[in-house]
Homo-oligomer: A and B are copies of this chain.
Amino acid sequence: MSDIDVLGIGNAIVDIIAKCDDKVLQDFDLPKGHMQLISAADADRLYDAMGPAVEISGGSAANTCAGIGAFGGKTGFIGVVDDDQFGKVFAHDLNAIGVKFDTPFNEGNTPTARCLVFVTPDGERTMNTYLGACVELGPEEISEKQVQSAKITYLEGYLFDPPRAKEAFFKAAEIASSAGQRVALSLSDGFCVDRHRDDFLKFIKSHVDILFANEDEIKALYQTDDFSNAADQVRHDVELAALTQGAKGSMILHGNATMAAPSIAVETVVDTTGAGDLYAAGFLYGFTQGKNLDICGSLGAVAASEIISHIGARPEANLVDLAKKNELL
Contacts and interface: CB of A to CB of B under 8 A. Distances in A.
Interface of A: 16, 18-19, 47-48, 50-57, 66, 84-86, 89, 92-93, 96-97, 111-112, 312, 314, 316
A54 B55 contact: yes
Contact of A314 (B52, B57, B97): B52
Given A19-B316, A54-B56, 11 more contacts: A16-B89, A48-B92, A50-B96, A52-B57, A53-B89, A53-B92, A53-B96, A55-B55, A84-B84, A84-B85, A85-B111
B52 A66 contact: yes
B54 A96 contact: no
11 contacts: A18-B96, A48-B92, A50-B92, A52-B66, A52-B93, A52-B314, A54-B54, A54-B55, A55-B55, A55-B89, A85-B111
Copy count, this protein chain: 2
Contacts of A47: 92
**Lowest 9 CB-CB distances: which A-B pairs, in order?**
A55-B55, A85-B85, A52-B93, A52-B96, A52-B97, A54-B56, A51-B96, A85-B86, A54-B54
A112 B19 CA distance: 25
Nearest to A16: B89
A52 B317 CA distance: 12
Nearest to A85: B85
A55 B56 CA distance: 6
A76 to B, nearest CB: 16
Nearest to A82: B85
Contacts of A85: 84-86, 111-112
A306 B56 CA distance: 21
Nearest to A86: B85
A30 B320 CA distance: 29
A93 B16 CA distance: 11
Contact of A53 (B19, B48, B52, B93): B93
Greatest chain B CB density within 10 A among A19, A51, A54 is at A54
Greatest chain B CB density within 10 A among A48, A52, A53, A85 is at A52
